[in-house]
Amino acid sequence: MARPVRVVLDSSVLLDPSARLSGAGVAGEEEVVLRPGAEVLLRRLRFSNLGVAICHPEGLPTNESGFLEKTAKLYSFGYMPLTSPSGSNLLNELMLELSRTNSCFYVTSGVHEGLLSELHNHNWAVIAMGNEDVIKNSGVIHISMLQELLITLATSIKKEIGSSSTLVVGYRGAFPIYPSKNDLIFVPLSFELPLASQLQEVDLVLHKITDEIINIDPNSSIRFPKGISFSLGMSEIIRFVEEHCDFCVIDPFKSIYPLLDRIQIQEILVRLEGLISEGRPKLRAPCSLKVENFCGSEIQKLLAEAKLSFPLIVKPQVACGVADAHNMALIFKIEEFSNLSVPLPAILQEYIDHGSKIFKFYAIGDKIFHAIKNSMPNASHLKSSSGGKPLTFNSLKTLPVATKEQLLQNRVQDSKLLDINLVEEAAKLLKELLGLTIFGFDVVVQESSGDHVIVDLNYLPSFKEVPDNEAMPAFWDAIKQSYESMKRMTQT
């Protein structure tokens, strides 16, 4: 296991020098502000698993040292006023002590020659921002702007650990930077810096491309990613990956695109229906039908052909990534399709009475977890409240879930309801079909038949209901296993 890492941030990288020059703020009291980008950096360092402290040279004006002390407290960092250089001992006792048992990084934008050599003598790595001309040959790691610090730290830590099994994972989201139990160092990719230079520094990138979608042309789903516009940064990552076919992406974009389309999800789920065996519940997808419009007469015919009957749940074909992907409706009769606000093209699904209980499954690598959540009640409970109009809702914000009274009417205990082995088998088959590292799917059990119906499939959900002490090790192992299997594939 690598040594603990300590990062000491000198006040010169945190405080905005221009505020002092402008003399802004109360007369006689210069305003003290953080440099642009410093707040994001401090927030990320707070959850980085690194030991961070803020230091400043002695003799700093009290309003500045007071501001730094408060900032250190706010982010639960250490606070170390440096004693003034006396004799050869430019480092305070704590810094000397730290360097004996930790990998230490000192981050500064001032270059005090004496302090630099003292730091080097005590095996501190120095990262200096700006001052290009002075730093060139002084064994100092140079960065031009604060946004480069985290990726520089990550690659320096990896070098310090010196093990080929340590991987630097570039990502979009919020993960600890410092190595997890299995040597993963997570570093946030900054969309304020050129992506290509960052991606050359990391071993793989973890992304949730469905969170980087700007717009989707709803009539383009069968040809995804055509018709999808992504954020600029994500577009740079996609371009880099196209130009570096050996670069490891978790997960490959083409494996994720089907999960943007509820029709393609349906086609995948239907392939699970082979998991039927004697004496076990049937596992299936809901009977479904794609529609391009809500013309009642056409739908009437299509429903008869598809043997679909009311009530029906209506969902946009586009499954995620855009705000209205979750605008749905519960329809009880054909007249309710007129002026329906669900985005088109749409999918009509049989509504499954499932006692308002949903089993949310999470496949994280080869581990399967699940949580039980309150869900939509049986249709009869909802019909009365719809008053002849379609019941429209947003599944993420205004899902009509069961009331306490309705929940009390649930007859069967969860344990008798769900055939967990059947669903776990389905999860393993799904993983093979999808080729994804982490995905979630939702199962409801039809009260009348006991059928296990998979109603939703999501890429990289938050699995917030799974306890961290189970989910995080599974997450780290999943990343490592996916990386290793992708590397094996590119080497064959």
Ligand X SMILES: Nc1ncnc2c1ncn2[C@@H]1O[C@H](COP(=O)(O)OP(=O)(O)O)[C@@H](O)[C@H]1O
Ligand Y SMILES: O=P(O)(O)O[C@H]1[C@H](O)[C@@H](OP(=O)(O)O)[C@H](OP(=O)(O)O)[C@@H](OP(=O)(O)O)[C@H]1O
Where on the chain is the footprint of Mg ion (CB under 5 A)?
456, 458
> Judged by CB under 6 A, which stretch of 145-153, 347-355, 412-420, 454-462 contacts ligand Y?
454-462
Q: Which of 148, 212, 251, 456 binds ligand Y (CB under 6 A)?
A: 456
Question: CA 397 → CA 41, 283, 393, 394, 401, distances in Å?
Answer: 31, 28, 8, 5, 11
**CB of 244 vs ligand Y, minimal distance in Å:** 27
> Judged by CB under 6 A, which stretch of 21-29, 116-124, 267-275, 311-319 contacts ligand X?
311-319
Q: Which of 233, 244, 146 is nearest to 200 (CA)?
A: 244
**CB of 308 vs ligand X, minimal distance in Å:** 11
Strand partners, 289: 348
What's the CA gap between 73 and 64, in Å, rounded?
14
- 442 lines the binding site for ligand Y (CB under 6 A): yes
- Whether 443 and 417 have beta carbons less than 8 Å apart is answered as no
Sequence-ordered list of residues with C-beta below 8 angstroms from that of 15, at least 6 positions apart, any chain: 32, 33, 34, 35, 64, 67, 68
Sequence-ordered list of residues with C-beta below 8 angstroms from that of 234, at least 6 positions apart, any chain: 172, 207, 209, 212
What's the CA gap between 326 and 347, in Å, rounded?
12
Applying CB under 6 A, the site for ligand Y has a residue count of 12
98 binds, among ligand X, ligand Y, Mg ion, none (CB under 5 to 8 A by kind): none
What's the CA gap between 463 and 367, in Å, rounded?
12
- 370 lines the binding site for ligand X (CB under 6 A): no
Nearer to ligand X, 203 or 442 (CB): 442
> Judged by CB under 6 A, which stretch of 45-53, 146-154, 236-244, 352-360 contacts ligand X?
352-360
Residues 416-455 close enough to bind ligand X by CB under 6 A? 442, 444, 455
**CB of 374 vs ligand X, minimal distance in Å:** 8
Please classify residue 75 by burial: count the beta carbons closer than 10 Å to its beta carbon, then call 0-12 exposed, 13-18 middle and 19+ buried.
middle
Nearer to ligand Y, 155 or 458 (CB): 458
Cis peptide bond prior to 377, omega within 30° of 0: no
- 396 lines the binding site for ligand Y (CB under 6 A): yes
**Would you report the helix, strand and coil content of the chain in percent, each value rounded to 5?**
40, 25, 35
What's the CA gap between 359 and 333, in Å, rounded?
28
Cα-to-chain-centroid distance, residue 31: 37
- 320 lines the binding site for ligand Y (CB under 6 A): yes
Q: Which of 416, 378, 371 is nearest to 400 (CA)?
A: 378
> Judged by CB under 6 A, which stretch of 17-25, 116-124, 347-355, 422-430 contacts ligand X?
347-355
User: Which residue in the block uniquely carries the two structure tokens 């695109």?
Assistant: 257
Please classify residue 112 by burial: count the beta carbons closer than 10 Å to its beta carbon, then call 0-12 exposed, 13-18 middle and 19+ buried.
middle
String marking each residue 219-238 x if it binds ligand X according to CB under 6 A: --------------------
Residues 109-168 close enough to bind ligand Y by CB under 6 A? none
Residues 239-298 close enough to bind ligand X by CB under 6 A? 286
- 358 lines the binding site for ligand X (CB under 6 A): yes
364 binds, among Mg ion, ligand Y, ligand X, none (CB under 5 to 8 A by kind): none
- 459 lines the binding site for ligand X (CB under 6 A): no
- 377 lines the binding site for ligand Y (CB under 6 A): no
44 binds, among ligand X, ligand Y, Mg ion, none (CB under 5 to 8 A by kind): none
**CB of 322 vs ligand Y, minimal distance in Å:** 9
Nearest residue relative to Mg ion (C-beta): 456
- Neighbouring C-beta atoms of residue 292, cutoff 10 Å: 12
Q: Which of 44, 56, 360, 480 binds ligand Y (CB under 6 A)?
A: 360
Cα-to-chain-centroid distance, residue 48: 15
Nearest residue relative to ligand X (C-beta): 456
- Whether 315 and 346 have beta carbons less than 8 Å apart is answered as yes
- 461 lines the binding site for ligand Y (CB under 6 A): yes
Strand partners, 167: 184
> Judged by CB under 6 A, which stretch of 3-11, 49-57, 111-119, 459-467 contacts ligand Y?
459-467
- 352 lines the binding site for ligand X (CB under 6 A): yes
Q: Which of 65, 71, 109, 210 binds ligand Y (CB under 6 A)?
A: 210
Question: Contact positions toward ligand Y, by CB under 6 A?
Answer: 210, 320, 360, 395-396, 440, 442, 456, 458, 461-462, 464
Question: Contact positions toward ligand X, by CB under 6 A?
Answer: 286, 313, 315, 319, 326, 349, 351-352, 354, 358, 375-376, 395, 399, 442, 444, 455-456
